[in-house]
Amino acid sequence: MNYAVWFSAELEKLQDRIGYHFSDVGKLENALVHSSYAYEKGKLEHNERMEYLGDAVLELGVSRFLYDSFPSFDEGRLTRSRAALVCGKSLAEWGRELGLSELLRTGKGLETEQVRHGSLCSDAVEALVGAVFLDGGYSRAMDLVVRYIAFHLSRHPIDGDETDPKSALQMLAHEKGMPSPVYEVLSVSGSAHSPIFSVRVLIGSKESGAGDGESRKAAEFAAARNAFFLLNREELEPE
């Protein structure tokens, strides 16, 4: 197998999975270079600076989502919820889902299990967010953060969530003079004992958000949170 050809094809697939295609694919490649690999190969660039930037972008996006979506949460609960959303274990879980653990270039001294289940995979997620921010700007980086939030909440609902996100989305839609949201099941995958529902929410004829969950209700809640975040963010974006 020609590794260069395989790697290039996998980068294309990764960009499809995250919903963003880089203008400068070199930024994506750098996001997948660990310092141990750069040291062995005599390269100057690796992903630590992008990881630093991505960490800040991720915290900003998650902070704004929580602030908008949970008006009853005080500062302490917001902080705890953010910590749960951006913890290394959750980021690594998404990184494995995206296939970053297979694409991350590391030195020979690092075992595969370290990459897949340790901090290296979560660091790669932060570097990926930083790379998208550098290549596409704030809006596209926030789109990626929203994808992560939807993934996380479909598997790990926020503790103490007293607000029904479907009700919150409906109220927001009505405030904006928009029709009531309608939820549509896109697919049901997995086994009969452990299904994963994929749902989208339509406001009018437009898809406004999507989410996954282990039940239809959980998937609808994830889609509603996604749509709520996006509708609120639109107010802040310049025309």
Under a CB-based contact definition with an 8 Å cutoff, are residues 106 and 34 in contact? yes
**Among the options 55, 123, 135, 220, which is catalytic?**
55
Question: Above 70 in pLDDT, residue 78?
Answer: yes
Position 234 scores a pLDDT of 59
What's the pLDDT tens digit per position in 161-201? 545 688 778 877 877 788 989 999 999 998 888 899 999 99
Count the Cβ atoms, other than its own, within 10 Å of residue 84: 15
Whole-angstrom distance, CA of residue 235 vs CA of residue 154:
25
> At 99, which helix (H) or strand (E)?
none
3-state secondary structure of 111: coil
Computed over every residue of the chain, the mean pLDDT equals 86
Active site residue 135: no
Whole-angstrom distance, CA of residue 188 vs CA of residue 39:
45
Q: What domains lie within the chain, and their CATH numbers?
A: 1-157 (1.10.1520.10), 164-239 (3.30.160.20)
Active site residue 111: no
Count the Cβ atoms, other than its own, within 10 Å of residue 68: 17
Question: Above 90 in pLDDT, residue 49?
Answer: yes
**Among the options 126, 135, 212, 220, which is catalytic?**
126
Cα distances (Å, whole numbers) of residue 232 to 64, 78, 138, 171, 219: 9, 18, 15, 12, 20
What's the pLDDT tens digit per position in 195-210? 999 999 999 989 999 9
